[in-house]
Amino acid sequence: MFSRAKELNLFDGLDHVDFDLLKSIAEFTRGFEVERIPFWQWEKAILEGYRVFQLLKTNKGGSVQLDIVAHALTYIAPLAR
């Protein structure tokens, strides 16, 4: 996953994940509980995860808040020092 992400500038500016990568994820997760997760949820998780990762890098830190019910990942900038 990270290898593909590096090739694609950590998905910066992209609004989709290529289908081959999503199929690979389906293969890797076969036999585990998460194999039932549809491709669109994997895609959203990947794109949101890398979006927040980029913000953490750019701002040299911060916090991440996860709302499992809403399937939302929120970045909170670090407090000014």
Total-model pTM: 0.87
**In this structure, is residue 9 part of a structural domain?**
yes
Average pLDDT over residues 10-29: 94
- Closest C-alpha to 12, from 39, 38, 46, 42: 46
pLDDT of 81: 66
Q: What pLDDT, on a 0 to 100 scale, did the predictor assign at position 10? A: 92
What's the rounded Cα separation, in Å, for the pair 56 and 27?
30
Counting DSSP H helices and E strands in the chain, the numbers are 3, 2
Contact 53, 10 (CB under 8 A): yes
Q: Please report whether residue 57 resides in a domain.
A: yes
Identify the pLDDT of residue 79: 85
Structural domain includes residue 81 = no
Whether the CB-CB separation of 35 and 24 falls below 8 Å is answered with no
* Count of domains forming the chain: 1
**Structural domain harbouring 12:** 2-76
